[in-house]
Each structure stands twice: as C-alpha cells, then as structure tokens.
Amino acid sequence: MKVNSPSVKDMQDFAATEPDKEGVEARDPLFVTALARGLDILRCFTPDREDLGSREIARLTGLPQPTVWRLCHTLLKLGYLVPGITPNRMRVGAGVLLLGHAAITRTGLSAFALPLMRLVAERHKISVTLAERNATDMLILQRIEAPSILSLNLHVGTRLDLGLSSLGWAYLCAVDEQTREAALKQLKKRDPVEFPRVLVDLSRVMQEYEKWGAVFNLGRSHLDVHAVGVPVVSPDGKKVMALTSGGSKSSVTREKLLNEVAPTLKELALSLSPMLR
C-alpha cells in the first residue's frame, strides 16, 4: 500500500500549534505524557488531512511508530478515531466531534455571538470572525461573511498564525506583558527565521492599538484583503479572545475600517465581553 508522506508544510502546520511540552514536563510532576501524546495524534487531523495512516502520524508527531500504534489502538477503542476509507488508515470519530462541539458552544458564546456578528457583516458588507488562542495560532470559533464579499477559505476550526494575523495581533496587544512574552517565546521557538517579522509587525500594531483600540492588516496576510482586529476581554481581564472584520481592498478601504468598521467591532466586543466570565 502506498502511503502519502506529510509535506513539509504539513509538519510546519502541526509544529505551529504544538505546546511547549518539554518545559511543562520538566516543571510539573503531575503532567501525563501519554495523554499529551494522544492529544498530539488527534491534532494531526485537519480539514486538509482527514485520513491518515500510522506512518504519517509518526512523522508528524515525531513519535516512534510502535508508540503511535498503541495510542491509535486506544483512541480507536474509545471512538475518538475510526477506520478510514481505505485499509490501515484512520479519521476522527464522533468522540472528537462531540468534544469540539462542547468547546465551541461553551457558555453559549458562539450561539450568542452569531446574530450580532451577522448584523455587523450585513451592515458593512464584510466578514466577521471570532477566535481564541491555541498555542501559536488563533482558532476560529465563529465566522460569517456578507454574501457580496471576496470569500476566503476560512471556517470554524481554521487556525490562523498568532504572529501574522489581525486576530493574533489584537490578542497580543490586549493580554498582560507576561502572557505576551510567553507567547512570543513560543513563536520564536517555532520559527526563528520568521520571528523578526513578527516583532516588526507587533511593534507597529501596538502603536495602532494604543491610538485607536484596534489593529489593521492591510494586505499583509492576503494581498487583496484589508482587515481590522479588536480584542474581546473578559470583565476581570483574565480571558482574551479576538474579533476581526475585513473584505476586498477594492471595497474595504483603510478609511472605512477606521471610521466605520472598527467602532462597530469594538461595540460588538463589549457586547461579548460579559460572556467570558
């Protein structure tokens, strides 16, 4: 049987969201390594990698193949993995879907946010996205697009780079210094070559945030897309998520983002804030 090996991009994508477990294991005697490895395996499955074999999982995670076999056997028995379409391959099962649904709908935030996000999207003819941090990414929890805008391949569950997206910038601007420094340390470890660009972008957007309470991504992530991001901060300041809105640069100018969209997005963030208690 021919097995398609993960591409370099696949392995970089996986590494981008891998927690810094080495430091955790060294500091925390209660840390369960086997559980962490099992979750690493589940994280290998994405919309672009729905069906995987044990050899591919071993390469993505860096785990020995016998270890992968044992962990996958356990996950199959529990229903978190199920047999794939072809022999000797696997895909996520209903157990993972139920966990994901519980995470997305916790405290009713996504359901509560959706109609408010739709109003903003329809009013300004833009997209509106809600996300939270997941290691070195921002994980989309809810998203809606006005029918007339340039559509991007983004949906619930998509991950965007923490250091190179308006969602990530809004998050980094709003968290406390200790949390920001820890996040930057992870970003540097993940990609030392790209990290100087992250620092340059962050320096710029922190000035924007101080002045306007919002950050701007003008063709930085996508050449044809302009976007603005704002944080959603819990009343006690301990929990931070982020909202972003954008569209084609031909119809969504910087002036529109600054004068029309950003104020509306900040109002939306204030409406969602109490849900983060």
Report yes or no: 125 and 277 within 8 Å, Cβ to Cβ. Answer: no
Report yes or no: 83 and 90 within 8 Å, Cβ to Cβ. Answer: yes
Other C-beta atoms closer than 10 Å to the C-beta of 219 total 11
Which residue matches tokens 């990530």? 168
pLDDT at residue number 4: 47
Q: Partners of 248 in the beta sheet?
A: 225
DSSP code, position 47: T
Instruction: Give the tens place of pLDDT for each residue, 140-176.
Output: 989 988 765 555 667 788 889 999 999 999 999 999 9
pLDDT tens over the chain, length 277 residues: 333 445 545 545 555 555 555 555 556 788 898 999 999 999 898 877 888 999 999 999 999 999 999 999 999 999 889 898 788 899 888 777 667 656 655 556 777 888 899 989 988 889 999 999 988 899 998 998 876 555 566 778 888 999 999 999 999 999 999 999 999 999 999 899 999 999 999 999 999 999 999 999 987 777 788 999 999 999 888 899 999 998 888 788 889 999 999 999 999 999 898 888 6
Cα gap 115→126, rounded to integer Å: 14
Report yes or no: 266 and 212 within 8 Å, Cβ to Cβ. Answer: no
Residue 196, both tokens: 């100087």
Domains and their CATH numbers in the chain: 8-92 (1.10.10.10), 100-276 (3.30.450.40)
Regarding pTM above 0.85, the answer is no
Closest to 58 in 3D by CA, of 67, 48, 49, 45: 67
pLDDT at residue number 8: 47
DSSP string, 157-217: T-EEETTSSHHHHHHHHHS-HHHHHHHHHHHHHH-TTTHHHHHHHHHHHHHHHHHHS-EEE
Alpha helices in the chain (DSSP H): 8-16, 21-27, 33-43, 54-61, 65-78, 94-105, 109-124, 166-174, 177-190, 195-212, 254-256, 262-272
- Residue 231's H or E segment, with its range, is strand 225-233
Report yes or no: 205 and 246 within 8 Å, Cβ to Cβ. Answer: no
Cα gap 19→136, rounded to integer Å: 8
pLDDT at residue number 224: 80
pLDDT at residue number 95: 77
What type of residue sits at position 142?
Q
63: region left, alpha or beta (phi > 0 left; psi from -120 to 50 alpha): beta
pLDDT at residue number 30: 84
Burial class, 158, CB count within 10 angstroms (exposed 0-12 / middle 13-18 / buried 19+): middle
